Amino acid sequence: MANRGFCLWLTGLPSAGKTTIARELAPLLRERGWNVELLDGDEIRQGLSSDLGFGRKARETHAARVTYVAKVLARNDVIPIVALISPYASSRARARQDIGRFVEIYISTPLDVCEQRDVKGLYKKARAGEIKEMTGVNDPYEPPTTPEIRVDTVRLAPRDSARYILKELDRLGWPTHR
Ligand SMILES: Nc1ncnc2c1ncn2[C@@H]1O[C@H](COP(=O)(O)OP(=O)(O)O)[C@@H](O)[C@H]1O
Ligand SMILES: [Mg+2]
Cα–Cα distances (Å) from 134 to 31, 40, 119, 147, in that order, read 36, 18, 14, 23
In this prediction, residue 52 carries a pLDDT of 98
Residue 161 buriedness (CB in 10 A; 0-12 / 13-18 / 19+): buried
Q: Whose CA is nearest to atom 10 of ligand 1?
A: 17
Which residues carry out catalysis?
86
Query: Is residue 30 within a helix (H) or strand (E), and if so which, with residue range?
Result: helix 18-31
| 145: Cα within 13 Å, side-chain hemisphere | 4
Query: Of the residues 119, 137, 163, which should be mutated to test ligand 1's pocket, given the most ligand atoms within 8 Å of the CB?
Result: 119
d(CA 18, ligand 2 centre) in Å: 5
Say how many Å lie between the CA of residue 118 and the centre of ligand 1. Answer: 9
The tens-digit pLDDT sequence of the chain (178 residues) is 556 899 999 999 999 999 999 999 999 999 999 999 999 999 999 999 999 999 999 999 999 999 999 999 999 999 999 999 999 999 999 999 999 999 999 999 999 999 999 999 999 999 999 999 999 999 999 999 999 999 999 999 999 999 999 999 999 999 999 9
How high is the pLDDT of residue 2? Answer: 55
Q: Which residue segments constitute the domains of the chain, with CATH numbers given?
A: 7-109+143-172 (3.40.50.300)
Nearest listed ligand to the Cα of residue 15: 1
Test site for ligand 1: of 117, 141, 150, most ligand atoms within 8 A of the Cβ: 117
